[in-house]
Structure 1
Amino acid sequence: MNRLCIFISSAQKEFAEERRELKAYLHGDPLLRRFFEVFLFEDIPASDRRADSVYLDEVDSCDIYVGLFGQDYGYEDAEGISPTEREFDSATAAGKPRLIFIKGQNDDTRHPKMRELVRKAGKQLIRRRFTDLPELTSALYASLVEHLVRIAVIQEGPFDGSACPRATFEDLSTEKLDEFLARAQSNRGYPLGPGTAMRKALTHLDLLAGKHPSHAAVLLFGKLPQRFLVTSEVKCLHFHGTEVRKPIPSYQIYKGNVFELVDQALDFVMSKIARSVGTREQGPQAPVEYELPREAVGEAIVNAIAHRDYTSNASVQVMLFADRLEVWNPGQLPATLTLASLRVPHASIPHNPLLAGPLFLAGYIEKAGTGTLDMIARCAEAELPTPDFRQDGGQFVQTLWRPVPQQVAGEVIEQVGTKSALSRHQVEILEKCREETALVDLMVIAQRSDRTKFRHQVLSPLIEDGLIEMTIPDKPQSSKQKYRLTEKGRALQSQLAYKKEQV
Structure 2
Amino acid sequence: MPEQQNIEYKQSWHDDYLKWICGFANANGGIMYIGINDTGKVVGVPDYKKLLDDIPNKVRNTMGITVEVNLNEKEGKYFIEIITMSYTVPISIRGRYYYRSGSTKQELTGASLNEFLLKKSGRTWDDIIEERATYDDIANNAVKIFLNASANAGRLPETNTSLDIQDLFEKLRIAENGQLKRAAIILFGKDPGRFYANAFVKIGRFGSNDADIIFQEVEEGNLITLLQAVVNQLNHKFLTRPIEFEGMHRIEKSEYPIAAIREMLLNALVHRNYMGAPVQIRVYDDKISIWNEGMLPAGLTSDALKRSHASKPRNPVIADVAFKGGYIDAWGRGTIKILDACKSAGLPEPEMQEINGGFNVVLFKNALSEEQLLNLGLNQRQIKAVMYVKEKGRITNREYQQLNTCSRNTASNDLADLVKKNIFKPSDVKGAGAFYQLK
TM-score under structure 1 normalisation? 0.59
Match of 1:266 among 218, 221, 231: 231
Alpha-carbon distance in structure 2 between the residues aligned to 1:339 and 1:432: 17
Alpha-carbon distance in structure 2 between the residues aligned to 1:472 and 1:24: 59
Flag the 1:76–1:161 CA change in 2: closer, same or farther, 3 A: same
Match status 1:466 vs 2:431: no
Match status 1:311 vs 2:279: no
Give, as a single letter, the amino acid of the residue that structure 1 aligns with 2:211. R
Q: Which has the higher helix share?
A: 1
Alpha-carbon distance in structure 2 between the residues aligned to 1:390 and 1:293: 20
- Deviation of the 1:21 alpha carbon: 9.1
- Deviation of the 1:308 alpha carbon: 0.9
Match status 1:85 vs 2:48: no
What's 1:181 paired with?
A: 147
| Post-superposition CA distance 1:262-282 (Å, at most 9, x none) | 222222222222223344649
- Deviation of the 1:291 alpha carbon: 1.5
Give, as a single letter, the amino acid of the residue that structure 2 aligns with 1:158. T
- Deviation of the 1:317 alpha carbon: 0.4
Flag the 1:325–1:88 CA change in 2: closer, same or farther, 3 A: same
- Deviation of the 1:390 alpha carbon: 1.6
What's 2:203 paired with?
A: 236
Give, as a single letter, the amino acid of the residue that structure 1 aligns with 2:142. K
Flag the 1:461–1:159 CA change in 2: closer, same or farther, 3 A: same
* Structure 2 residue matching 1:250: 3-state secondary structure: strand
Alpha-carbon distance in structure 1 between the residues aligned to 2:368 and 2:11: 52
Flag the 1:205–1:435 CA change in 2: closer, same or farther, 3 A: same
Q: Which has the higher strand share?
A: 2
Alpha-carbon distance in structure 2 between the residues aligned to 1:18 and 1:286: 66
Which residues in structure 2 correspond to 1:132-143 (within 5 Å)? none
Flag the 1:88–1:211 CA change in 2: closer, same or farther, 3 A: farther
Alpha-carbon distance in structure 2 between the residues aligned to 1:328 and 1:194: 34
Give, as a single letter, the amino acid of the residue that structure 1 aligns with 2:152. S
Match status 1:168 vs 2:134: yes
What's 2:434 paired with?
A: none
Give, as a single letter, the amino acid of the residue that structure 2 aligns with 1:245. A
What's 2:436 paired with?
A: none
- Deviation of the 1:335 alpha carbon: 2.0
Give, as a single letter, the amino acid of the residue that structure 2 aligns with 1:253. V
Which residues in structure 2 correspond to 1:147-166 (within 5 Å)? 155-166=121-132
Contact 1:323 1:401 in 2 (8 A): yes
Flag the 1:337–1:363 CA change in 2: closer, same or farther, 3 A: same
Match status 1:252 vs 2:217: yes
- Deviation of the 1:426 alpha carbon: 9.1
What's 2:266 paired with?
A: 302
* Structure 2 residue matching 1:206: 3-state secondary structure: coil
Give, as a single letter, the amino acid of the residue that structure 1 aligns with 2:252. V
* Structure 1 residue matching 2:268: 3-state secondary structure: helix
- Deviation of the 1:482 alpha carbon: 4.9
Alpha-carbon distance in structure 1 between the residues aligned to 2:289 and 2:282: 5
What's 1:43 paired with?
A: none
Alpha-carbon distance in structure 1 between the residues aligned to 2:408 and 2:15: 47
Contact 2:115 2:124 in 1 (8 A): no
Give, as a single letter, the amino acid of the residue that structure 2 aligns with 1:222. G
Give, as a single letter, the amino acid of the residue that structure 1 aligns with 2:57. D
Alpha-carbon distance in structure 1 between the residues aligned to 2:65 and 2:292: 32
Contact 1:68 1:101 in 2 (8 A): no
Match of 1:345 among 308, 316, 323: 308
What's 2:254 paired with?
A: 290
Match status 1:214 vs 2:181: yes
Segments of structure 2 that go 5 or more residues without pairing to the other structure are 1-9, 36-43, 92-99, 387-392, 420-439
Alpha-carbon distance in structure 1 between the residues aligned to 2:262 and 2:115: 39
CA RMSD in angstroms comes to 5.2
Aligned residues: 376
Alpha-carbon distance in structure 2 between the residues aligned to 1:22 and 1:170: 47
| Percent identity of paired positions between Structure 1 and Structure 2 | 21
- Deviation of the 1:89 alpha carbon: 3.4
What's 1:391 paired with?
A: 354
Contact 1:279 1:286 in 2 (8 A): yes
Alpha-carbon distance in structure 2 between the residues aligned to 1:86 and 1:136: 26
> Once structures 1 and 2 are overlaid, which stretch shifts more, 159-168 or 217-226?
159-168
Contact 1:242 1:323 in 2 (8 A): no
Contact 1:187 1:362 in 2 (8 A): yes
| Post-superposition CA distance 1:440-477 (Å, at most 9, x none) | x9xxx9xxxxxxxxxxxxxx9545473489x9966999
Give, as a single letter, the amino acid of the residue that structure 2 aligns with 1:351. R
TM-score under structure 2 normalisation? 0.67
Alpha-carbon distance in structure 1 between the residues aligned to 2:65 and 2:144: 49
Contact 2:286 2:369 in 1 (8 A): no
Contact 2:12 2:45 in 1 (8 A): no
Contact 2:115 2:125 in 1 (8 A): no
- Deviation of the 1:330 alpha carbon: 0.4
Segments of structure 1 that go 5 or more residues without pairing to the other structure are 1-11, 33-65, 404-423, 446-459, 485-503
Flag the 1:244–1:112 CA change in 2: closer, same or farther, 3 A: closer
